[in-house]
Structure 1
């Protein structure tokens, strides 16, 4: 079956229902990221039109984001702010600037670890999760560039580099999902503060945060260090692929019963490999990303009962600590227990981004 991804993405955006009933949230921000990437890659105005329609439904004329509360200090809520900056750069009205400024104010007072990185959320105190690096740092750097505040860009880079040091697992060459500086959480190792396993999508969020931030930070030793860390991670990821070019839910345990190729992480890694090649990161192999994209098309895009093509095998959500009456202990068995949600935006958004990078490759934007 031949799948036209642009047709699929257009229908997906046309029919998309806000993830949390219209409330400002990171899940919708994943779609916004995909639409922005497609706009840049194709120049087709339909992607920006979808973006504006969806954002305008969540931001009123006074710049208030639906159901957003600054003092919840939820780093996830920063991600969709990148769409506000995109619309401003396209000549959007003042509501987007008011909303973006409000998100920047959250970052000014958002609680931090003693080492510097932001807490993941106020209700997850003293913890940094890899997810939060993608949620917050791209916006922080882009906003800093937009308002000519280079100290914000520098702080975003420093936060990322510090978190890499805090979450690194030297034995595997990977990064753990979470770190608890107080060692209070049951999931945290009492010596290291780290969660116990390697969840693929957590590392996917990290890889996307690294390559997006690399694009925005100035030349210098910090940027060079980020490039070295990303190059090493990509090399490790290339070695962990399944035979068909995807990545497993528990990424480094190929023999774990019930482990499966997970589509959102695979799309995220495809994006990271392709963009890293475009930005000339040492050792970044575009063919790894291309193979991952093709494998998703061949193995994960399947019709539902009504015949509509959906992106399958997407972990709906995973976290750490108590939530909804369940304690998420961060073990391999926990990650395998989470439900799958076909066409979840946390998979489709990164797939849009990866396809956008493939289109740039096809157009000759990568070095020979």
Structure 2
């Protein structure tokens, strides 16, 4: 059995999941430089911080060292926000090892932002390709802004990092958040892409993981910026409104959230594990930090129990986490609910670890 027990005799689901994943993949076979793997390994790092199991950090370093040369060069062009998320691992490894190559590699992402294309209000496009031009996707705020504030702290660039990250979350939120508190998946400033409403530029649906990315990024940035930051009050307002929407649409039967959040009454809709982990984390952390009313601790606890119902141990002694949506573009209702419901997809594993390290023992 791979399962580790904590001191109460209960299963430590974080270490069980990591040990299972490390048994399935080596640092070479886990995948290329990507945000799902980066998300998972960030969750593994949070567990390392608690357990101090050296294997967990060694694994992360072995993965990153596939891409970062001894001189700090990294063969990524960073022409989309998704490619920047794993940059958090560069900052972590610099902090843990002091090796300058990780600073040099991380600096490439930071410098790329100087020339990265933006909307007229300064929001980063989701990607530089023609098919993503002028578009803000709620997913994108998590891909760059948590990295940015952590980079700012590690490398004495906090003034820029705080201002930029807070600006991005505000610009995105000002367009994507609607009256029910939830965010639409995306917005096209040009209002020309096929999914965009010709009047508003908004995508038609509230896809749960896109909103989940935004919720986690918002809490991460609020944790980082100073109490007197000029955009702080606006970011808190965005989070307060979002939290109310999440509470409203939480499935009362399971505690989880639906793939299309506000349409849980439809028979083909289904509760999705990665976003449920993300919302649970954001609501718990938001209440703990005083950004949200204390009752959201209870909302998060219902979400936590709902997600725990989706993890189990298989006959091989390894964990399985089910009902995770695979990677997804912007689409309509039918597109989202037809997405593959995967087991052990890294979007779900990473979100689970982040959630579990926040809520375990609470």
The corresponding residue for 1:95 is 101
In the TM superposition, what are the counterparts of 1:51-200 in structure 2 within 5 Å?
51-65=60-74, 67-70=75-78, 73-123=79-129, 124-149=132-157, 150-170=159-179, 172-200=180-208
Gaps of at least 5 residues in structure 2 are: 4-9
2:324 is paired with a residue whose SS is coil
Question: 1:336 corresponds to which residue?
Answer: 337
Secondary structure, aligned partner of 2:212 = helix
Q: How does 1:1-368 map to 2 (within 5 A)?
A: 3-5=11-13, 6-16=15-25, 22-65=31-74, 67-70=75-78, 73-123=79-129, 124-149=132-157, 150-170=159-179, 172-220=180-228, 221-242=230-251, 243-284=253-294, 285-298=296-309, 300-302=310-312, 308-320=318-330, 330-359=331-360, 362=362
Give a deviation string over 1:100-139, Cα, whole Å, max 9, x none: 0111121111111111110001121010100100001111
Deviation at residue 304 of structure 1 after TM alignment: 5.5
Shift of 1:58: 2.7
Judged with a 3 Å threshold, the aligned counterparts in structure 2 of structure 1 residues 180 and 217 are, in CA distance, closer, same or farther, namely: same
Equivalenced residues, count: 347
Query: After alignment, is 175-184 or 142-151 more displaced?
Result: 142-151
TM-score, length-scaled by structure 2: 0.89
What's the offset of the Cα at 1:14?
A: 4.3
Distance 1:301 1:260, change over 3 A: same
- C-alpha distance in structure 1 between counterparts of 2:217 and 2:329, whole Å: 18
Cα distance, 1:74 vs structure 2: 0.9
Q: What CA RMSD, in Å, does the superposition of the two structures yield over aligned residues?
A: 2.2
- TM-score normalised per structure 1: 0.88
SS of corresponding position for 1:233: helix
* Preserved contact between residue 18 and residue 28 of structure 1 (Cα < 8 Å): no
Structure 2 Cα separation of the partners of residues 332 and 251 of structure 1 = 10
